[in-house]
């Protein structure tokens, strides 16, 4: 795949908040002493009266956001994925999910690509945790363009939303202005040999693998499934029916994430051979993001090898 411009989706999150803030006076942003890292500092600079630093107290921040939402404000509660989905899970479940409040959670630094921060910060369980909350929308964008569109869609959606953004810069695979609809996947490359369903930084890796597979005469379909919940079941079923074989790719545990969501649909409605690529039942560890992603098989080379083996 040709060299593409790379942008971290956490940067996209901060930029999108600032842009939306100019359009909507009821948008407020909360952070837990991490505005520089989550990039909500961009919003803080533009709208200091609508940015609230709750300190290193993520559970309290979630409850503050819940309260704000009952007054007509649309709060975006922002912190690392490990703290938003992990540390504050009870508050997300009971204070946002249970009353179905209009709170948006912007979780940055998800997955192995957090790198040197190590296992304590490499949250690979957030999709599973957030998917378990009734009514919660769960999403992970592929690139800058999709991330910015996703933040806008989250604002317009009535109800709780969890969005995961990355620390590492990732290739921009979408054209500027590409549409985004919550709950809809998209075919980025058509094919009939194997369907590769990916999200987050694994979308670019899947596209790279598909190009290499094409050189071997294997025509792979690549689907970007940015919304994990609600899953685009219709697209999953049509891709499985056309290809007969499916590979899922995510920077998340193979337990409870995109792969499991896809398998649940197919096992009930169209039994299909599925190979899940993700973090196995193990913790990460400290190291450079690129090296860690390769070590854990979250790279185009592994997708390519798995697809070749599946298509034999």
Six-digit token string for 271? 């039994």
What's phi and psi for 134, nearest 5 deg?
-55, 135
Strand partners, 8: 169
- The whole-number pLDDT of residue 4 equals 81
Provide the pLDDT for residue 304: 98
From 19, 58, 158, 305, the catalytic residue: 58
Separation between Cα atoms, residue 259 and residue 307, nearest integer Å: 15
pLDDT tens digits, residue range 169-207? 999 999 999 999 999 999 999 999 999 999 999 999 999
Each of the 312 residues of the chain gets a pLDDT tens digit; together they read 556 899 999 999 999 999 999 999 999 999 999 999 999 999 999 999 999 999 999 999 999 999 999 999 999 999 999 999 999 999 999 999 999 999 999 999 999 999 999 999 999 999 999 999 999 999 999 999 999 999 999 999 999 999 999 999 999 999 999 999 999 999 999 999 999 999 999 999 999 999 999 999 999 999 999 999 999 999 999 999 999 999 999 999 999 999 999 999 999 999 999 999 999 999 999 999 999 999 999 999 999 999 999 998
Q: At residue 249, what are phi and psi to the nearest 5 degrees? A: -135, 125
Show the domains of the chain with their CATH numbers: 6-171 (3.40.50.970), 186-310 (3.40.50.920)
Half-sphere exposure of 13 (CA within 13 A, CB side): 35
| High-pLDDT (> 70) share of the chain, % | 99
Q: Give pTM, 2 decimals.
A: 0.97
Q: Is 125 a catalytic residue?
A: no
- The CA-CA-CA angle for residues 259, 265, 269, to 5°, reads 145
Cis check for the bond before 250: say yes or no (omega within 30 of 0).
no
pLDDT, residue 3, reads 67
**Model confidence over 265-285: pLDDT tens digits?**
999 999 999 999 999 999 999
Residue 1 is predicted with a pLDDT of 53
């Amino acid at each position: 795949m040709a060299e593409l411009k790379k942008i971290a989706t956490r940067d996209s999150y901060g930029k999108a908040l600032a842009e939306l803030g100019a359009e909507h006076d009821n948008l407020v942003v909360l952070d837990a002493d991490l505005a520089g890292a989550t990039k909500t500092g961009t919003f803080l600079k533009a709208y200091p009266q609508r940015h609230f630093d709750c300190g290193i107290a993520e559970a309290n921040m979630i409850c503050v956001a819940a309260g704000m939402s009952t007054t007509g404000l649309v709060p975006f509660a922002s912190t690392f994925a490990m703290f938003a989905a992990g540390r504050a899970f009870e508050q997300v479940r009971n204070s946002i999910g249970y009353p179905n409040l209009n709170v948006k959670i912007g979780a940055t630094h998800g997955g192995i690509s957090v790198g040197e921060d190590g296992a304590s910060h490499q949250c690979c369980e957030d999709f599973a945790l957030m998917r378990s909350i009734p009514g919660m929308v769960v999403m992970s964008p592929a690139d800058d363009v999709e991330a910015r569109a996703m933040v806008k869609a989250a604002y317009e959606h009535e109800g709780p939303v969890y969005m995961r953004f990355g620390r590492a810069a990732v290739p921009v695979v979408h054209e500027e202005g590409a549409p985004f609809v919550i709950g809809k996947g998209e075919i980025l490359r058509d094919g009939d040999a194997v369907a590769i369903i990916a999200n987050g930084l694994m979308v670019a890796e899947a596209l790279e693998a598909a190009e290499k597979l094409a050189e071997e005469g294997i025509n792979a379909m690549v689907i970007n499934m940015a919304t994990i919940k609600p899953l685009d079941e219709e697209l999953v079923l049509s891709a499985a029916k056309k290809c007969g074989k499916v590979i899922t790719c995510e920077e998340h545990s193979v337990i409870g994430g995109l792969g499991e969501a896809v398998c649940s649909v197919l096992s009930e409605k169209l039994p299909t051979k599925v190979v899940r690529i993700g973090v196995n039942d193990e913790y990460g560890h400290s190291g450079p993001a690129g090296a860690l992603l390769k070590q854990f098989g979250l790279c185009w080379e592994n997708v390519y090898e798995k697809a070749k083996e599946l298509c034999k």
